[in-house]
Amino acid sequence: MAKRKVPKNQSESKTKWQHLLDIPNQPLPEMGLTPKIAVWKKNKSTLWFYPSAQKKYEVPVFLIYSLINTPLILDLSPGNSLIESFVNEGFDVYLLDFGSPGFEDGDISIEDYIVDYIQKGVQRALRHSGASEITVMGFCLGGTIAAIYAAIADEPIKNLILSVTPVDFSASEFFDQWQEALKEGTADFDETIDIYQTIPASAVKYGIRLITSPVYISPYLSLLNQADDEKYVQNWRRFNAWANGHVPLSGAAAKQITKDLLIKNSLVNGSFKVRGKKAKLSKIDASVLVIASKYDRLVPQEMIYPVMEHLTCKDKTYNLLKSGHAAKQYSGVLPYYLKEWLPGRSSPIQ
């Protein structure tokens, strides 16, 4: 009897399924490979220094990532790393990695992160680099606290870059619903937070999925479609490891985000205080670059653009990308919106 010939497309589909099912059995590819040195530690946090082999600019870059994710996405792999791109361009880079807070860290507030971690970290970076000025770049919620810090900072911040940074929490339908529920008392998590002292990583993860559903499913469909492409699979696994690598949020920080940012929208109205000092966006005197993403479901541009209306600095730029919240890929060179904006504002070495 003649052997039945399997159609080519059916055979390819079977091979992709075999590759897909074998992925969990493979070791996770390495991440965070750009050479770095730890120059300062506080509690669970580490300040990493990434030196440029051919330094071209006097002003170093200080990166602040979100409190609820690891910063691995900034250095996924060689050829796909924002940090590597900065270093290749001639910038020295500092990254403040907040680490993963535990039960014992439940009393760390947003104010504490700004004063005891960010401000002290920037001071350490300035001493370590010998620079007279610094660029601060914040991502998502890390950008929110970077903006708050810049509004009260005594340190010489030459440039402030805010990437997909929520500022106006009344401008999102989802957060608006939470605001009403919290104001009316139909949603109150203080008692639970007091018990656990942190918002667990699992709760953070499913909270993000609640906002972005069903977007988080689509990457798995892409993986199935390209499961036989080894390079794509490895990059997908790195990104997926970051996307699922949420960290707990300290209870005090969660309460302050809820009450000051969500309910009072205090960053926009100028009432947010850092240890008695008002953090008004109008006080920021650095050059500011604001980056938003057109298809961002987590932080839509309506939550981002209002910062432009409150900034009074002379040099401010708004850049809208045609991407999602974390869809940016880096190829070893700075993306155009940074390459065009930052070098001329970073004191090139003559």
**Chain segment 148-175, per-residue pLDDT in tens:** 999 999 999 999 999 999 999 887 665 5
| Lowest-confidence segment of 210-214, 253-257, 272-276 by average pLDDT | 210-214
DSSP H or E stretch at residue 226: none
Amino acid at 118: I
Among residues 290, 280, 288, which one has the least CA distance to residue 164?
Answer: 290
Please give the average per-residue pLDDT across 310-326, as a whole number.
Answer: 87
CA distance 350 to 206: 50
Please give the average per-residue pLDDT across 249-263, as a whole number.
Answer: 87
Please give the average per-residue pLDDT across 26-33, as a whole number.
Answer: 72
pLDDT at 72: 87
Tracing tokens 């770095």 back to the chain, one arrives at 36
CA distance 170 to 183: 13
pLDDT at 131: 98
CA distance 330 to 9: 33
| Lowest-confidence segment of 19-23, 108-112, 317-321 by average pLDDT | 19-23
CA distance 171 to 166: 9
**Which pLDDT tens digit goes with each residue over 86-110?**
999 999 999 999 998 888 888 999 9
Say what angle helices 218-225 and 8-22 make with each other, to 10 degrees.
Answer: 120
DSSP H or E stretch at residue 274: strand 273-274
**Which pLDDT tens digit goes with each residue over 170-225?**
876 655 555 555 555 545 566 655 555 666 554 545 455 544 444 444 555 565 55
Taking CA atoms, 73 is separated from 32, 63, 91, 343, in Å, by 9, 12, 19, 23
Taking CA atoms, 208 is separated from 100, 136, 202, 212, in Å, by 18, 26, 10, 6
Taking CA atoms, 276 is separated from 84, 117, 142, 273, in Å, by 38, 17, 21, 5
Residues of the chain with pLDDT > 90: what percent? 52
CA distance 334 to 168: 28
